[in-house]
Each structure stands twice: as C-alpha cells, then as structure tokens.
Structure 1
Amino acid sequence: MLYLLRRQILLAALTLVGTWACRERSPELTAQQTLGDCRLIAHDAGETEICQQPERVVALSMHMLDLLLALEQQPIGYAPIDPLTIERFDQPEQQIPYLGDYVTGQLVNAGSRSEPSLETLVRLRPDVILGETGFHQKAYSQLAQIAPTLLFGGALRDQWQRSLLPIAKALNRPEQADQVITAHRQRLAKTRVALAEVVRTLPRCLLLGIRDLKQPIQIRTGSDFAGGLLQDVGFTLVAPSIAVRAAGEMTVSLEAIPQLASDWVIVQAWSTDTSNSPLKTVRRQWQQSPVLQAMAASRAGRVYFVDYQLWSISRGPMAAGLVLQQLEVLLLS
C-alpha cells in the first residue's frame, strides 16, 4: 500500500512538472528566449532545447560527472555506480573515487546509475539532467518530464570528445570544450614522449578485464576508452583472431591467455560490488594460477593491476589524464 501511494505521488509530481515545463516553453512565454538565449542540443535521444544559463545540473553516472567537472561545472546531484545509503556526498573526496577531489560542494545522492531516483530528481528541480544512453534510454520520457535531459554514449574510443561539445553548448561553455580537448591532446603528447622508449622495446600490450578467473576474461581492444588511449600512446593491443562475444565484450578462457603473445599486461580488476576494491582478489588469483604465471610477461614482472572504475567507467578527460599519469608510473618505475 505504501509503495502504491508513493508511486501515485511520484506520477502526480511528474505530471505537474511536465505541465509546468510545457507551460514554461510555450511560444507566448519563450519567444524572446528562443531568439537569443536558447540552444537546440542534438543528443542520442533526439533534440532538446536548453535555455539561458543552466546552473542546477545532475549527473546520472560517473562518466557524466567526469565531463561536467572537466567543463568546470559543479553538479548539484550525482548517481554513482552502486546504490548508497547516504543522502548526500558531504565528503566527496572520500566518497567518490578519483573525481571526488575535484568536487567543491556537497552533492545530493540521486540514486544509482542503473536506477536513478525520480523522486529525488523532482525535489532537486534541476535545469538539466545528463545521462548515458545505455543506462537511461528506457527512463528518458520520465526524466525529460522532470527537466531537459540529454543522453550520450561514452564507452567507445574518443566518444567523450564527441559528447563534450554538445554538453558544453548546452551549458553555454563552448570555448571550454575546445580547451579541454586541446589540454588532453597536449597531455597525450607528453606521455608519448615519456614512454617512447617503452613503446619501441615493449610494443605489445594485452589489456584485460577480469572479475574472477573462473569466469570468461574480457579482452579490451582499441575501440574502447582505455584501449584507445594505449593505442594513441603508440602501443599495439594484442587480441585473438577468434574470440567469443558475450554481452558486447570480446571474451576468452583463462587457458587461452598465454597464447596471446604480449610484452606486458594490464589487468583491469572489477567487481559488481564497487564498495570493495577487487584489485587484491584478482592479483592473488593471478599469482596463484600456474597457467598465468608461466606467461613471459608474468615471469618478467610486467603484469600491472589497475582499477576498472578509473580505466573503464569514468571514460572522460579527467579519467584520461589520471590513466596516462598512472601508465607512466607503472611503466617507468
């Protein structure tokens, strides 16, 4: 009964917000805005009109938070990967991995990436909601009733650059997008110089995503965020000629890994429970596997374990800078 009541209240609120939004955007009330202060933003769910200077922005994923912070826009709400019991991120540097150091205020917890809280979003009354196509397409109509909502993909190589430009336009910060992309290219050039000798002598990299060695192992290629960065630096990514694709991922068995000739290996350790770092677990499993320990890269001490959240979830310019920095530390130390 309580659930039904809350649902009825939420639907009523959404209807009210939708009616208010339609009234606010009627030709009579917005004719002057349309001429000067509005932008039509193309995104994966269509085209959305954003007017004036958005101040109250909600990021429904770590990826969107990355893009906002790169544009120096502080959000008012954030939906992390996993649902958390806290109402707000009052200590973001401790509560938000990697990006929390760049958050200057207290963000409201807006649910989780896969299930954002519509009730919380209604209360926040944002000017703009930013989400990811793969996670928020089904809820788009409801989100768009709350506030103008923009959806973008972000998993593919350099996709964040294509998303950053319309987001910056929506936030009325187009010049900053160009500055962010230029800074990224300069940082990439710096890493190329720093790792030039490593690229020359150890060019072949095997990039893996591992949750548990008992399960199929993901092979990451140059088409995704981290693989694209490695290729941009100059490395060649090793991949099998024949692999099984499951849920959009290229996967192989543990026994097939030693057959992939590589000079070094990066293991992105991940878990469905992001509250506990899987790095120690995956490293221990790797070290206890006779098959993997027989690999040339293992014998040479050139297997590096990194956090999947940074290397494959954030996927923006902030993460790119941190990944390149970590890559230099790993390969030059």
Structure 2
Amino acid sequence: MLKNRIMPLVCLIILLLTMSACGGTSEKNSQQDTVQPSSEVTDAPETENLTRTITHLKGEAIVPVNIERIVVLSAAYIDHLLTIGEKPYGVNVEVRYGGDYLPYLSSQLDGVQLVGSADSPNLEAIVALEPDVILVESRTADEVYAQLEKIAPTIVLGTEWLEYEDDTTYWTKDLLKVAELYDKVDLAKEKIAELEAKTAEASETIKKLDQKKLAYVRVREKNLQIYAGKGHPTNTLLYHDLGFLPTGLTPEEQRADLSLEVVPDLDADYIVMEVDPNGRENLNSMNQSALWGKVPAVQNEKVYETDSFWLFKGWGVIGRGQIVDDVLKMIE
C-alpha cells in the first residue's frame, strides 16, 4: 500500500522538475531574442527619418540627413558637390554651350539626369525625379522658387560679387553651405586649403616673371570686351591670388568694350582670350588687323585661348584648380 502511495508522488515531482527546466530554457531564449536586436540598434542607429535645418537666402529648409536625390540648378553647385565626393541626381544645362553637361565636369556626371537650364528649369522633369533637396541660385529662385518649394525643400544660395567688396574668398561660402547639407564642412575646408596651397605655389612662379601684365578678354560677335580686375572670382584668381598685373586698359570692377582704335594701347604681356561661339568671324578680322598686331602679347605669340568655361570654373575648387594648371602651361 505504501508503494502505491509513493509512486504518484514521485511522478508529480519529476513532472514539476521537467516543467521548471523547460520554463527556464524558454525564459533564457526569450531574453536572448530581446537583447540581441537591442544591441544591434545601439551599434547602428536608425538615421533614415532624421533631418537637419539649413539656413539659406529664403529662410530655413528642413532636409534629410541622408540625401540621396539632389537636383542642382547651378554649374557652381555641381562643382561643389563633386568636390566633397557627392554626385548630383539631376543637373541644369547651359544652352549656349550645347545644352549638355559642362565639359570640365562631364566625366563625373555619367548617368545624371538633365533638368533644363537654370533660367528655365524643366519642372516636370524635376518632379519625376522625386528629389530630396533642390539647390538653386538666387537669380533662378526669383522666378520659380515657389514652384520648386512645392516639389522638395529648396536651398537658395548665391549673392552678387560686388556685395562682398574685397573679400576674395567669398566664392567659398556657397561650397561650405553645400557641404553642410552632408555634414562634410571639414572635408570642404581641406579641399579649399589644398587649392590655396596649389595657387600659392603657382603665384611664386608668376612672381619670377619679368613681364606679367595680363589681359582677360572676350571676343563676341561684333565687339571685343576686357574683363575687370574684380567683379568675378575668375578675375580675382588671376590678379589677386595668382599675382598677374592688370593692364592700363583693365577696368577695376566691370568689364568694358575695347574698340580697335584703343587696342594698340593694350600693354599686355599675356592675353587670356574667350571666344563666343558666334565670335569666330570677329576674331578672324582682329587677327588681320595691324592695330591688333601692335599688342605685345600678340607680337610675342602669348595669346592663350581658353576653353570658354573659365567664367564657370572660377566658382569652384575643381574649376579653379584647372585654371591654375592652364596658367602654368601658358607661361612655360
């Protein structure tokens, strides 16, 4: 009888021990499943929904921390993005230069969508790209900012050069603002410093020249113009940063027309010449003129025709670096 009473009790104890062991294992597994994902979140925080606020000429814009699709309506801002290692998703074209990528940046823009010109952006094309952010110049914003802002947060940059008076580093301000979008301000500053070092080295070479008066001219369809010593970052790169001397006919702040009658007074040792697409016939006439032949740079065959993009290149690190390279080749 005692045996019959003990056996059920033993079975009950065994059952309870088994259930306790299973419960412990289940609880342990449950704890492991909970802790592991928590550890992963700590190591790789979620940033998809994070934003930052950017101040610009039209106020403030809230943009994603991780920008994947940025549309750019300025050649300068394309240069800025590529300088910090970011590729735009859509870019403007320059109608007067064939309506395509600017040649000096084209090798880095393969596959980037075209969205019209800065003056007449293709709003439908921009909408189709579903951009995270749009970058525009102030002159573009005056016309279409309200429409662009409905598509995506729109950052408005750019101010007229003369408002900055003698600040020759003013062109860097927009680069630093673009870098702020990607939290790459330190990288942008490094790129600026590298360019400054390269420019300073080139200026030492130019200082050693016995004759270094330079005229930066533009041949248009029916007239010849000379650029000023200020008024544009390309001009200040030549005369301030690199150290060329302006000629007696070089205006101070605004470009001016040069008639053939005054051309013999152009005391330029070097001429940097930009020729408009419709200016070739005018250039041919100049080359046949005895008056043009009296200019020292013409006599000494020191006329350097640019690729017509120096006015764009002067706004960015990549472009300015290429101008410095061209100048060194010119004076060799």
What is the TM-score when the length of structure 1 is the normalising length?
Answer: 0.74
Q: 2:189 aligns with which of 178, 182, 185?
A: 178
User: Whole-Å Cα distance in 2 between the matches of residues 222 and 137 of structure 1?
Assistant: 25
Aligned ranges 1:220-259 → 2 under 5 Å: 220-231=228-239, 232-238=241-247, 240=249, 249-259=255-265
User: Whole-Å Cα distance in 2 between the matches of residues 223 and 83 of structure 1?
Assistant: 22
Q: In the TM superposition, what whole-angstrom CA distance separates every residue of 1:191-224 from its partner, at most 9, and x where no partner exists?
A: 12333322xx122111112223x22524232331
Q: In the TM superposition, what whole-angstrom CA distance separates every residue of 1:162-190 from its partner, at most 9, and x where no partner exists?
A: 11111111122222211121111111122
Query: Is the alpha carbon distance of 1:209 and 1:85 closer, same or farther for their aligned partners in structure 2, counting shifts above 3 Å?
Result: closer
Long gaps (5+) in structure 1? 1-32, 90-94
Structure-2 residue corresponding to 1:298: 298
Contact map agreement 1:45 1:151 (CA 8 A) in 2: yes
* Matching of residue 264 in structure 1 with residue 270 in structure 2: yes
Query: Is the alpha carbon distance of 1:142 and 1:267 closer, same or farther for their aligned partners in structure 2, counting shifts above 3 Å?
Result: same
User: Whole-Å Cα distance in 1 between the matches of residues 174 and 194 of structure 2?
Assistant: 16
Long gaps (5+) in structure 2? 1-45, 162-167
User: Whole-Å Cα distance in 2 between the matches of residues 242 and 76 of structure 1?
Assistant: 40
Contact map agreement 2:212 2:269 (CA 8 A) in 1: yes
Describe the SS at the equivalent of 1:186.
helix
Contact map agreement 2:81 2:87 (CA 8 A) in 1: yes
Describe the SS at the equivalent of 1:234.
coil
User: Whole-Å Cα distance in 2 between the matches of residues 325 and 264 of structure 1?
Assistant: 16
Describe the SS at the equivalent of 1:59.
strand
Q: 1:99 aligns with which of 105, 110, 113?
A: 105
Query: Is the alpha carbon distance of 1:151 and 1:182 closer, same or farther for their aligned partners in structure 2, counting shifts above 3 Å?
Result: same
User: Whole-Å Cα distance in 2 between the matches of residues 203 and 51 of structure 1?
Assistant: 49
Contact map agreement 1:221 1:239 (CA 8 A) in 2: no
Dislocated runs of 4+, deviation >4 Å: 83-86, 280-283
Aligned ranges 1:199-238 → 2 under 5 Å: 201-212=210-221, 214-215=222-223, 217-231=225-239, 232-238=241-247
User: Whole-Å Cα distance in 1 between the matches of residues 281 and 197 of structure 2?
Assistant: 36
Structure-1 residue corresponding to 2:14: none
User: Whole-Å Cα distance in 1 between the matches of residues 318 and 105 of structure 2?
Assistant: 8
Contact map agreement 1:219 1:252 (CA 8 A) in 2: no
User: Whole-Å Cα distance in 2 between the matches of residues 155 and 289 of structure 1?
Assistant: 37
Contact map agreement 1:48 1:150 (CA 8 A) in 2: yes
Q: In the TM superposition, what whole-angstrom CA distance separates every residue of 1:80-137 from its partner, at most 9, and x where no partner exists?
A: 1118999xx7xxxxx540111223x401110122211000110101111112223342
Q: What is the CA RMSD across the aligned residues, in angstroms?
A: 2.8
Counting aligned pairs with the same residue, the percent is: 25
User: Whole-Å Cα distance in 2 between the matches of residues 58 and 294 of structure 1?
Assistant: 49
What is the TM-score when the length of structure 2 is the normalising length?
Answer: 0.74
Structure-1 residue corresponding to 2:123: 118
User: Whole-Å Cα distance in 1 between the matches of residues 84 and 325 of structure 2?
Assistant: 20
User: Whole-Å Cα distance in 1 between the matches of residues 284 and 196 of structure 2?
Assistant: 36
Structure-2 residue corresponding to 1:58: 71
Structure-2 residue corresponding to 1:15: none
* Offset, 1:53: 1.8
* Matching of residue 148 in structure 1 with residue 159 in structure 2: no
Structure-2 residue corresponding to 1:28: none
Structure-2 residue corresponding to 1:192: 203
Query: Is the alpha carbon distance of 1:169 and 1:147 closer, same or farther for their aligned partners in structure 2, counting shifts above 3 Å?
Result: same
User: Whole-Å Cα distance in 2 between the matches of residues 53 and 39 of structure 1?
Assistant: 10
Aligned ranges 1:126-165 → 2 under 5 Å: 126-153=131-158, 156=161, 157-165=168-176
Equivalent pairs counted in the alignment come to: 277
Aligned ranges 1:61-100 → 2 under 5 Å: 61-82=74-95, 96-100=102-106
* Matching of residue 312 in structure 1 with residue 323 in structure 2: no
Residue type of the alignment partner of 1:293:
G
